[in-house]
Amino acid sequence: MVDERAFLAMIRAQPFAWEPRLVYADWLEEQGETPRAQFLRLLNRFYTGPAAHGGTREMLIRRISNLSANVALSAEPYHLTSTSILMRRVDAGTTWMGGGNGVPGTSRVEIPNDFYLGVFPVTQGEWRCVMGNQPSDFSPVVLGVTDASRFPAESVSWQDVQEFLTRLNGLEGTEAWRYRLPTAAEWEYACRAAATSAEDCSFDFYIGGPTNDLSSWSANFDGRRPAGHASRGPHFRRPSRVGTYPPNALGLFDMHGNVWEWTDTAAAPTRILRILCGGAWNSYGRHCRAANFAATTPEFRSNDLGFRLARAPR
């Protein structure tokens, strides 16, 4: 008889290969575990389906959310908040920060605990669900769309985000976990798809696989200024719907470009400024590197600045 642990070991060994998960789903169905099988198949459609955004993605998120109440998600590295924010587990490990362009980083950093990170930047719809307001500059009218709920929440300060986190933690009410911003080290580690070797941490970009080239056909930034040897591409001059471009090997979208993302790390030496990562829709390609960061005051707001949710043990 097949041991379930063999399936889970195979999935862990290939964190973003969907074939083992679909085989596992068939096996679960045979064991009478229909909700878990459906959950895996929905995730497969969510990541590999032809629709990058819009109604199909919204329908899948709702179905995943409805199933999550009856599925033991511990078998799969995903978590859904009570407000339907999809998160992905990032396993603990040792990483090398600061590398790029073929040169490994020199800062060896330990990520001591597993944590979860939002699959997407927090969206306008998710912000409104928690906070009941809409601070983003890019409204549907400005964007020229009927619904901006799947565009990133921007024009939020670090202080605004702390209020969001306080309210979300109150809604969830769990003693074992808390929601917060990722640290700069966690953010870079997740951006590199949890790479742990110095060689794997020596690249600038991690869309699909690691590379030192970035075109705006693969991420939302100023395509007139691509990175490395990439070709020039479009420059839309605004954020895009989250998940429009390919994810990294952990299934995390928009880690390069779209909006800068707040972290929980204070910048030395003043310890007042807060570090931002990822670059944005108006950045040059080189500013979207995994190891690149900026810093600003906690009260600063801008329409190219948002955030991504982290979930960690208390």
Q: What is the pLDDT of residue 22?
A: 87
Give the residues across from 307 on adjacent strands.
Answer: 262
Per DSSP, helices labelled H in 112-238 are 124-131, 140-143, 158-172, 184-191
Give the closest residue to 294 by CA, choosing from 303, 285, 305.
305
C-alpha neighbours within 13 Å on the C-beta side of residue 10 = 14
Give the closest residue to 138 by CA, choosing from 281, 289, 250, 296.
281
Give the CA radius of gyration of the chain.
19
Bond before 121 cis per omega within 30 degrees: no
- Indicate yes or no: pTM above 0.85: no
Q: Which amino acid is at 224?
A: R
Q: What is the pLDDT of residue 52?
A: 44
Strand 305-307 versus strand 260-266 pairing type: parallel
Q: What is the pLDDT of residue 221?
A: 98
Report the C-alpha gap between 219 and 240 in whole angstroms: 9
| Residues whose CB falls within 8 Å of the CB of residue 166, separated by 6 or more in sequence, listed in order | none
Residue appearing with tokens 């949710």: 309
Per DSSP, helices labelled H in 106-242 are 124-131, 140-143, 158-172, 184-191
Residue appearing with tokens 């998960």: 21
Cα pseudo-dihedral 12, 14, 20, 21, rounded to 10: 60
Q: What is the pLDDT of residue 81?
A: 85
Q: Which amino acid is at 266?
A: A
Give the residues across from 109 on adjacent strands.
Answer: 95
Ordered per-residue pLDDT tens for the chain, 314 residues: 467 778 777 766 665 567 887 888 898 888 888 877 887 788 777 766 654 444 566 677 667 666 655 555 444 577 878 887 888 899 999 999 999 999 999 999 999 999 999 999 999 999 999 999 999 999 999 999 999 998 999 999 999 999 999 999 999 877 889 999 999 999 999 999 999 999 999 999 999 789 999 999 999 999 999 999 999 999 999 999 998 888 898 889 999 999 999 999 999 888 899 999 999 999 999 999 999 999 999 999 999 999 999 999 98
Cβ atoms of 214 and 248 within 8 Å: the answer is no
